[in-house]
Amino acid sequence: MRDVAVVGVGMTKFGEIWDKSLRDLYVEAALGAIENSGVDHIDSMIVGCMSGGLFVGQEHLGSMLADYLGIKNLPASRVESACASGGLAFRHALIEVASGMSDIVMASGVEKMNDISGDGATYALATAADQEYEVFHGATFPGLYALMAVAHIEKYGTTRDMLAAVAVKNHDNGALNPNAQYPFKITMDTVKSSVMIADPLRILDCSPITDGAAAVILTTVDIAKKLGKPYVKITGSGHATDTIALHSRDDMTTIASATVAADKAFKMAGKTIKDVDFAEVHDCFTIAEIMVMESLGLYAPGKAGEAVLKGETALDGKFPINTSGGLKSKGHPVGATGVAQIVEIYKQLTGQAENGRQLKSNPKVGLAQNMGGSGGSSLVHILEVA
C-alpha cells in the first residue's frame, strides 16, 4: 500500500445553523478543505452521513453534493455507520488512496439535525439502536448510556464528580474553539444541578443536536510533499463492530468495538497507546469518554474517571483528550463528527490549533476514536507528524 497523508482540512461552524441547508454546509467545508490543501482537483469524494433522509428528507447524497460542489461526473458516494459515519468515510478514503485507485480523495461528513422537531431527531438517532429489543420498549440513547453509567458506577465506584469533570474539561477546551457550538466554560456545580435526562446523566452530560460539516483531503505522501503544504501521515486504521443491543454484550462497562479497532490501528502503525500524545474520542455522553479511555488501554478499568478529576486529560495534562472540546462542547452533527476529529488532530500535529488551544507538548502522534450508537461500531485512526 502507498503511504497516505492528510494535506488540508475544512470545517463549518457547528451549532443550530438556521440560514444554511445541508448542501450549503457541505460545500462550505469541502471548498475550505480544497483551498487549504492547495490541490487543483479531487479524484473522488466520500461523504459520511447518518441519516439525511430522516433529518432533511434527502438521500442520494453522492450525486447531490458533487453537483452542488460543482464537479461534474465525480465519483462520489455516501457511507453510514450511525455516529461513526464520518470515521468510516475517512477510512474508505484512506483505502482508496493507499490502494492506488485514486490519488486525491476528499473524506467528508455532514448532518443537518435541527430542521425537524426534537421528537423527530430522537426518532432518527434511535435508528442506530436495536429497534426490536431496545427502541420498541422505549429506550433512547440517553437511556442506554445511563444504563452503561449505572453499570460502571456499580462495578467500579465511578462518581458523579467524575462524570461532571469530563464535561467541565471539554467545555474548557471548547471555549477556545471558534467552530464550537457551545464555546463557554461551565462548573462542576452547574453540571450536577442541570436538568436530569436519564439518571445519572443530566443535560450537561449529553452532547447536543448539531448542524455542521467537515472535510479533509487525503493524498499520497509523495504528492503532499510536492504541494508544499503542512501534512500529516496516516499510519494506523482500525474498524470493528459489536452487538448492537446492550443486553447481548458480556460487559456493559467497556466498548469492545473500540478495543478491537484500536488494536488493529496500533498493529498497523507499529505502536501502542504509550506512543500516542493526545486523542479525540467519542464523548457523546460523559460516561462514554471515561469508558473509551479504558477501552483504548489508556487507563485500567475503573481508573479513568479519577484521572479526569486529577487533570491528567486536560490541555496541560499528561494525555490531553478532546482538545477540540469534543462532542460535548464542539457539537455532534453525527455524520460529520468523525471527520471533525481528524480536523483537530491535523491542526494539533501541524501547530495550527486556534486561540491558545495548541498543545505546548509539541505532539507527534494523535489518535481519533469515533463510534456509532452505544458502541455497535467503532473506528480508530492514528496520525503522525511527517
User: What are the structural domains, with CATH classification, of the chain?
Assistant: 4-117+210-232 (3.40.47.10), 138-205+236-385 (3.40.47.10)
Spot the catalytic one: 92, 239, 332, 381.
332
Whole-number pLDDT of residue 271: 98
pLDDT string in tens for the chain (386-residue length)? 999 999 999 999 999 999 999 999 999 999 999 999 999 999 999 999 999 999 999 999 999 999 999 999 999 999 999 999 999 999 999 999 999 999 999 999 999 999 999 999 999 999 999 999 999 999 999 999 999 999 999 999 999 999 999 999 999 999 999 999 999 999 999 999 999 999 999 999 999 999 999 999 999 999 999 999 999 999 999 999 999 999 999 999 999 999 999 999 999 999 999 999 999 999 999 999 999 999 999 999 999 999 999 999 999 999 999 999 999 999 999 999 999 999 999 999 999 999 999 999 999 999 999 999 999 999 999 999 99
Pairing of strands 44-48, 104-112: parallel
Amino acid identity for residue 7 in this structure: V
Whole-number pLDDT of residue 208: 97
Whole-number pLDDT of residue 163: 98
Residues 6 or more apart whose CB falls under 8 angstroms from that of 208 comprise 181, 182, 331, 332
Whole-number pLDDT of residue 140: 94
Whole-number pLDDT of residue 274: 98
- The answer to whether 65 touches 336, Cβ cutoff 8 Å, is no
Q: What is the dihedral of CA 204, 207, 213, 215, to 10 degrees?
A: 110
- The answer to whether 323 touches 344, Cβ cutoff 8 Å, is yes
Residues 6 or more apart whose CB falls under 8 angstroms from that of 110 comprise 22, 25, 26, 29, 47, 48, 49, 52, 61, 65, 212, 213, 214, 333, 335, 336
Look-up of cell digits 440513547: 141
Strand partners, 78: 47
Give the predicted TM-score (pTM) of the model.
0.98
User: Is position 332 annotated as part of the catalytic site?
Assistant: yes
- The answer to whether 11 touches 29, Cβ cutoff 8 Å, is yes
Please tell me the distance from the alpha carbon of residue 293 to that of residue 162, in angstroms, as a whole number: 13
Whole-number pLDDT of residue 230: 98
Q: Which three cell numbers stand for residue 167?
A: 464535561
- The answer to whether 320 touches 276, Cβ cutoff 8 Å, is no
CA distances to 176, 277, 327, 339 from 171, in Å? 9, 20, 10, 20
- The answer to whether 195 touches 202, Cβ cutoff 8 Å, is yes
Spot the catalytic one: 49, 83, 206, 284.
83
3-state SS, the chain, equals: CCCEEEEEEEECCCECCCCCCHHHHHHHHHHHHHHHHCCCCCCEEEEECCCHHHHHCCCCHHHHHHHHHCCCCCCEEEECECECHHHHHHHHHHHHHHHCCCCEEEEEEEEECCCCCHHHHHHHHHCCCCCCCCHHHCCCHHHHHHHHHHHHHHHHCCCHHHHHHHHHHHHHHHCCCCCCCCCCCCCHHHHHHCCEEECCEEHHHECCCCEEEEEEEEEEHHHHHHHCCCCEEEEEEEEEECCCCHHHCCCCCCCHHHHHHHHHHHHHHCCCHHHCCEEECCCCEHHHHHHHHHHCCCCCCCCHHHHHHCCCCCCCCCCCECCCCHHHHHCCCCCCHHHHHHHHHHHHHCCCCCCCCCCCCCCCEEEEEEEECCCCEEEEEEEEEC
